[in-house]
Every structure is written in structure tokens, then in C-alpha cells.
Amino acid sequence: MFFLKKYKPRNIIIALFITFFILGGIRFEGKEMNQPKNIIDDKVGQSAVLTGIVVSEVEYRPSYQRFVMKVSEESSYKVLVSADRYPAIFYGDKVRVVGKIDKPSNFITDTGREFDYVQYLAKDEIYYRMSFARFEILGTKYGSRIRYSLFRFKESFLQAANRIIPDPESALLAGILLGVKQSLGSNLEQAFIDTGTIHIVVLSGYNVTVVSEAIVRTLQSFLPKNLALSFGGLGIVLFAIITGATTTTVRAAVMGILGLLARLTNRTYQITRALFLAAFVMVLINPYALVFDISFQLSFIATLGLIFISPIIEKTRIAQLFPIRFGLREIFSSTIATQIAVLPYLLYRIGTLSIVSPLANMLVLPVIPLAMGVGFLSGLIEMMFGFGVNPMTWVFFGLLRYVITLVEVLSSFSWSALSVGYFNSFFVLIFYLGIILFLVRWYRNPLVPMVRVKK
């Protein structure tokens, strides 16, 4: 690349950005044109018999179960199937389903926004649905052995947790540890949304950071540094898989692995570059995520807020009132920074604003690492040895009860969350332009923030 030396780095970056933007558009259009055209189109609105493999983790609800089935009839395609709760289907099962086929449709949310459900499913190449299906299990273990084993471990752990603590505490533990929120119940789930703490249940980058640091610190106590960091990276990958590899988890996992590589090679970890590299890899794999996955978009924007806005908030007089102990000042700064970063886009796409989010996060986040650690150890002991309730059980049960009570109390106020009507995209653009201009003025030079890693 010697011929690039005479060009300024900024010009090279701009040229690469434009090039990749054009290539991304071409790939996006190519994926759009490659939507499956198969014989199932003629069966839409009619009853059909389909045979295929369950390729997703099964979502279990009290009265039904839902899964994605990959069917192969002349061309391969996926169908979202809802069926009776029993017998329980598992990832990798080969099933025959009978039911009426239809295509997904968009719907209006409680805030009056139209949710693009069609494209939301299309990003995962799901173009058909079958509801109230009757089914027959024809075989098992047709999927990835690694995913099958991890999902079995996950199921055993959740069963062990349910034996030692009741709902909703066991449901919350499943959420903060493994990203399972289906059993929270609609009221409690809404309470977490209204208080801006839903990110701890759906597994955000915060949970992945807690897990990765716990793995590395534990391994470093009895293994050499390089070996501990290597196993830490493997642990992050397995954790991302077992939690369903959601967009926020994958983004945090990629950035976490890059951070471990930096520590392994004693290099400087450039967090902004790591974020854009993670986004590039994810969009390269699935270009639909950039446009149709709101979780990906909010995760990316929130992380940019943490990088650029949080250091500014931390220097304010209000932030200085909070002690550094227990990470309260950092939690306050991070919460305010992410709220500022995602606010306009959140109002535009969802229309809900949590007023109590900063307070709720400050009171909840300090206890989450301890609840995750003690809860995991207690559940693991129960799963392996069947000890039942032990002293550790009461510790994490108390922590989880504290979180639930706090969230329920804060969400009970009529002003805890506000619904905003139509929010014009023009205001979103003006808001973000204002933020960018302020940040450029604050930092004077738009330099890439750099974080020195521990050696």
C-alpha cells in the first residue's frame, strides 16, 4: 500500500467509507432481490404440510411455543411457527407441521407507531408464518452440535434455578444471565421498559462486559495471563451463542474480544474503531440489520454516547456530587449519556421516554454483577449436585427481589414514562447535527478516543 502514503489519512478514510457504502448498497439490493420465490407462495392462505429442521432457539410461553423452521422444497426457506406448548420442541428437531400459511404484516404499537414486522422478520430471511400448527417430531439433533449442547445446558440451568427460587425472581435471573425474558410476564416486562432498565433483561453490552471480566479475572487467578485471556475470548463466544446471539450481544462480544486481543498483544485498544469494526462485521453478515433491526441501531448509537458524551457528563458538577465508590458516578454519567444519544431516535421509532431511567439505573446496576455471579454459582451447584436452597440462594434472591420491587415502585408513578406522539424525522436530524457540532467544539479535534488497556 506504498502508493497511499502521499494521501492524507483523513482522505483515505473518507474514500474507504464511500467505497464500502456503495458496496453495502449493492449487497443490500442483491439480498433484496434474492428473496425466495418458491412453491409455498401458491399455498399462502391455505392449509399445508411442511417438513423441516428447527433452526432457532424455541420460545416457550405458558400456552404455546414458537420457533423458526427451515424447510427445503426445491428451494430453502424459513417459516415462523406457533404451536401447542406440549410436547416441547427443541433446537435441531426435525418436525412435520400442519397448518395455514400466511405472510407477516405490519401492526400499530401502543404508542401509535407502525412496526415494520415484515422487514423485521425478513432480516432473518423469514417470509412466512404458520399459527396454531399441529406438529409431529420426526427426529432430533439435526442442528449444530455446539448450539445443541449449549442450549441443553441453558435449559438444565433454568430448570435448576426454577427449583430453588420462585417466579418472578427466577425469570429475572434467567433474563440478566441468559437473556430469557419470555417468562417475566407482560406487566413486569413493561415495568422494566418504563423505568429504562429493560437492557439488563435482554442482555445488553453491560451484561456481556460483566461476564467477560468475571471469566478473565477468575481464570487469571490460576492460569497464565495469555491463556486466561484466550479462554476469556472463547467464553465470550460461547456466551453469545447460548444467549441467542442477539445483535446487541454480538456487538458487545466482538468489541469484548477485540479488547482481549489488545490486552493479549499489549496494544492500545481504540474503542471507536472497535465499535465500527463490530458494526461492519455484523452488517457484512446481514445487511438487513443496518436498516431494519432497531436493536442494532439503538445499541450502536448508545455505545457512541458512552464513548463521546459520557466523559463530558462525568466532568459536570452534578456528576461530581455522586461518589466514585460502587461506580455510582460512572453509572450516572453513562445513563445520562446514553439517554441523550438515543433520545431523538427513540422518540422517532418508539415514542416512549422514561423519566425515572437515571434514578432506576443508579439504584439497580450496582447490584447486578453480584446477583449474576451468586445466581450463576447457586444455579450451577443445584444443577450438578441438587443441594436445593443454600445460603447463596438467599443472597441473590434478596438482590433480585430488591430489583423487582424497585422497578415496580418506580414504574407505578403516572409520570414515570411518557408517550410522545408523532415525532418528525427532521427534528431527529437537527438534534443529532447539534450533538455532533457540540462534540466537535468540545473536543476541538474529532480525534478517536483511545483507552489504554491493562497490561
The grid cell for 231 is 479462554
| Distance between CA atoms of residues 332 and 189, nearest Å | 23
Q: What is the DSSP string of 184-209?
A: G-HHHHHHHHHTT-GGGTTT-HHHHH
- More confidently predicted of 28 and 298: 298
| Distance between CA atoms of residues 108 and 106, nearest Å | 7
Mean pLDDT of the chain: 79
| Distance between CA atoms of residues 155 and 159, nearest Å | 6
- Pair 354, 417: CB distance under 8 Å: yes
76-88 residue pLDDT tens: 688 999 999 888 8
| Distance between CA atoms of residues 422 and 428, nearest Å | 12
Residue 438 pLDDT? 86
Q: What are phi and psi of 269, to 5 degrees?
A: -90, 110
The runs of H, that is alpha helices, within 315-387 are 317-320, 328-349, 357-364, 368-385
- More confidently predicted of 140 and 108: 140
Domain 39-143 belongs to what architecture? Answer: Beta Barrel (2.40)
Handedness of CA 425, 427, 429, 432 (dihedral sign): negative
Q: With 60 as the cut, is the pLDDT of residue 75 above it?
A: no
446-455 residue pLDDT tens: 444 444 444 4
| Distance between CA atoms of residues 123 and 342, nearest Å | 22
Please name the residue that has the C-alpha cell 459520557: 310
Q: Please give the average per-residue pLDDT across 139-152, as a whole number.
A: 88
111-142 residue pLDDT tens: 667 777 888 888 888 888 998 899 999 998 88
Confidence of residue 353 (pLDDT cuts 50, 70, 90): confident
Model-wide pTM > 0.85: no
Residue 21 pLDDT? 57
Residue 3 pLDDT? 42
Residue 73 pLDDT? 56
| Distance between CA atoms of residues 439 and 30, nearest Å | 37
| Distance between CA atoms of residues 28 and 15, nearest Å | 20
86-98 residue pLDDT tens: 888 999 999 999 9
Least confident of 203-212, 351-360, 389-398: 203-212
